[in-house]
Amino acid sequence: MDTLLDFEECVKDSPEFRYLTFLKSVSLTNQVMKLCSKMVEAGQAYSTANQLFLSGLAELSIHQKKDNVVTNCLNQFNQGLHEMVNFHIMLFDQTQRAIMQHKNRNRSCTRREFVRIGEDLETAAMKNAQVSRHKATDAERASHLLLATRKCYQHFALDYCLQLNTFKTQQKIDILNSVFSYVHAQFTFFHQGFDLLRDLEPTMKTMAAQLSQLSAECAAKRKDLENTHLLVQQRDASGEPVVRPCPGNEDIIQGYLFKRSRRKSKTWKRCWFSIRDNQLIYRKSHKEEALVLFEDLRLCAVKSLEHIDRRFCFELLSVQKCCALQADSEQLKQAWLSALQGSIDLAYRERTDKSLTEPKEPSPVLCGGDSSPGPPTHRPPALGVALRGPGNQQCCDCSEEEPRWASINLGVTMCIECSGIHRSLGVHLSKVRSLTLDSWEAEQLKLLCGLGNNVMNQIFEARYPLSTCVCILNAELFETSCFVSENQKDDAGLCLYRAAFVGDLVAMATALAEGAEVNRTIAEEEGRTALIGAAVGGSLLACEFLLQNGANVNHRDLRGRGALHAAATAGHTG
């Protein structure tokens, strides 16, 4: 290891010199550095795995929020172990710097250059030997090239020999420094770990005492669970499914039923059903949210199915759809039939005011039943919002209290008897919906509040004597076109456009009552309709009112722009 290269042998370029330079270039320190790199990489992977493990412990402590003892201990230990991981990371970093700091990359480059010049010397000697004695010029040129190449090689070999000898001389000190730095890093790591664990010692003693207490409590709890298990096994584990809900559950009945698909295949799938808040709810699997099968059981009828091949089947029917269900036994079938019929009867007996309280929010929006996956929630009803409109607490026709129906295109509320008459007039005159059973959009509810019974009665009854404005509304009340002239219609059409442009709902309703054509084009306004004017003006309520009264959204003005294009051009896109 202490043998140095001889400069005399370097000038001679003997095979012994070349062999020694090869041995000197193949140093064991390179192998040590490679092993150090592998050790550091393995340590970094270990630290990464430790960090993932500690993240899992942190999540475990989050799930134990209710138990302060477990949470506090886990948090303290987690913090201490995080410090240990940081100490490991610092140890690996110091180790890499200690071992790799003396790595000499220039020596390998010099070795390659030395080998290249040696090959050039071999080539020059070969060419010099091959020149014919009869070619004096070529022989002289080859001799000069050989001399120059040998001189260059000798100078470079001497420099390379000096570099190797210097490295060998300094190698002892470098190795000792690296090992000393590595051992010092290990000493620091273990000293820091000792201090950290010594600080955690009081916590460990406290946790040991708490563990003893928890073990006693767990033993008592385990004994209670075994007793409960034995009691339930003797009482309920008879093989028959349990349909009664657990204590504290709001469901009337719950259990598994087979549901027949409404597709052509008519397949049957086992689902979990329950009755809650006058709704039939089911879940296809534990991975999916609950869905509402029937929104209001008061609108449903239940009957047994005897004409199909499958046993223990019954059917639930409503106006929109019907659904066939199958129980596991006749006893379960009768239990479900009784529960469904009882829920329907109970819903009719209960006071509806309890579920129709006025919402606190100013503009609630009711969602559709079939389009909303997830369990049913207590949503604010449309009734409380609709009754805020002026005069909406009474029927617009017969003045009956607490109307439950409304006309979405007229903006009035009415009782159930008058709603039947409105339906008979046709949807082109009055679009009737239930305030308690149908879905309502926010803009439709705002129309009911913005117009209301008082405003609409003043408009429609303006030309009728007071004695005729009683009880039930008749069709002639809506057919305003029978007593207005063509000039009045033209004026009303222009008024409708101007009112739509500024978003005046009352003026728009007045213009329609006076016979204005909702899709009439205004020549003075580039052939625009009232809907395009409302879109340009930016009134969303005016657009909703016109659409409910038959406005054509696809109509284009003289410039080829429709209502949507006009709204986008005016910047009313939100």
Range of the domain at 119: 7-227
Residues 83 and 196 grouped into a single domain: yes
Residues 29, 178, single domain; the answer is yes
Instruction: Indicate the number of domains in the chain.
Output: 4
pLDDT tens, residue by residue, 531-559? 999 998 888 889 999 998 989 888 888 88
**Residue 367, domain member (yes or no):** no
Instruction: Look at residue 369 and tell me whether its pLDDT is greater than 50.
Output: no
Q: Give the per-residue pLDDT at 108.
A: 67
Residues 291-336 pLDDT 10s = 999 888 888 889 999 888 899 999 998 877 889 999 998 989 998 9
189 — pLDDT class (breaks 50, 70, 90): confident
Give pLDDT, residue 73.
Answer: 75
pTM: 0.36
Among 350, 374, 409, the domain boundary falls at 350
Domain membership of residue 343 (yes or no) is: yes
Alpha helices in 451-562 (DSSP H): 452-460, 486-502, 505-513, 530-537, 540-548
How buried is residue 267: exposed, middle or buried, by Cβ count under 10 Å (0-12/13-18/19+)?
exposed
User: In this structure, is residue 195 part of a structural domain?
Assistant: yes
Do 415 and 540 sit in the same domain of this protein? no
Residue range 413-430: average pLDDT?
87
CATH of the domain at 178: 1.20.1270.60
pLDDT at res. 493: 84
Indicate if 462 and 492 belong to the same structural domain.
no
Give yes or no: residues 100 and 218 share one domain. Answer: yes
Residue indicated by tokens 């140093």 = 27
Q: Is 426 left (phi over 0), alpha (psi -120 to 50) or beta?
A: left
Residue 557 and residue 442 share a domain: no
The last residue of a domain, from among 448, 477, 506? 477
Strands (E), 243-317: 254-260, 268-276, 279-283, 291-294, 301-305, 313-317
> Do 35 and 88 fall into the same domain?
yes
Long-range own/partner contacts, residues 99-107 (CB < 8 A, 24 or more apart): 99/32, 99/33, 99/36, 99/178, 99/182, 100/33, 100/36, 100/37, 101/178, 102/29, 102/174, 102/177, 102/178, 103/33, 104/167, 107/25, 107/163, 107/164, 107/167
Q: Is the pLDDT higher at 463 or at 28? A: 463
Mean per-residue pLDDT, 521-533: 89
Q: Are residues 140 and 122 in the same domain?
A: yes
pLDDT greater at residue 249 or residue 402? 402
Q: pLDDT by residue (tens digit) across 390-413?
A: 888 999 988 888 898 999 889 899
List the single range of 9-23, 327-341, 446-460 with lowest mean pLDDT: 9-23
Q: Would you place residue 103 in the very low, low, confident or very high pLDDT band (cuts 50, 70, 90)?
A: low
pLDDT of residue 474: 43
**Please, what's the b/e burial string for 189-217 (b: 16 or more CB within 10 A of its CB; e: otherwise)?**
beebbeeeeeebeeeeeebeeeeeeeeee
First-to-last C-alpha distance (Å) of the chain: 83
Stretch 165-178: mean pLDDT: 75
Question: What are the tens digits of pLDDT across the range 115-153?
Answer: 888 888 888 888 888 888 888 888 888 888 888 988 888
Given this model, what pLDDT does residue 473 score?
A: 43
| pLDDT over 90 at 247, yes or no | no
Whether the pLDDT of residue 528 is over 50: the answer is: yes
Confidence tier at 159 by pLDDT (50, 70, 90): confident
**Which sign does the torsion angle of CA 385, 391, 396, 397 carry?**
positive
> Does residue 421 have a pLDDT over 50?
yes
Per-residue pLDDT averaged across 446-457, rounded? Answer: 88
| Distance in angstroms (rounded) separating the CA atoms of residues 399 and 408 | 18
Q: Name the average pLDDT for the chain.
A: 79
Does residue 267 surpass a pLDDT of 50?
yes
Q: Write down which residue in 449, 477, 505 finishes a domain.
A: 477
Average pLDDT over residues 227-245: 68
26 vs 203, which has greater pLDDT?
A: 203
Domain of 485, CATH number, reads 1.25.40.20
Regarding predicted confidence, which is higher, 230 or 108? 230
Q: Could you tell me if residue 242 is inside a domain?
A: no
pLDDT over 50 at 471, yes or no: no
Q: Is residue 413 part of a domain?
A: yes
Q: Are 316 and 325 in contact (CB under 8 A)?
A: yes
**Is 364 a domain residue?**
no
Residue 20 in this model has a pLDDT that exceeds 90: no
Mean pLDDT of 227-242: 69
pLDDT of residue 19: 67
CATH of the domain at 338: 2.30.29.30
What letters, b where the CB count within 10 A reaches 16 and e where it falls short, cover 325-342? bbbbeeebbebbbebbee
Please indicate, yes or no, whether residues 465 and 501 belong to a single structural domain of this protein: no
49-99: pLDDT as tens digits: 988 988 888 887 777 666 676 777 778 888 888 888 888 888 888 888 877
* Residues 202 and 313 both lie in one domain: no
Same structural domain for residues 38 and 121? Answer: yes
Residues 136 and 110 in one domain: yes
Mean pLDDT over 421-440 rounds to: 86
Does residue 238 belong to any structural domain of this protein?
Answer: no
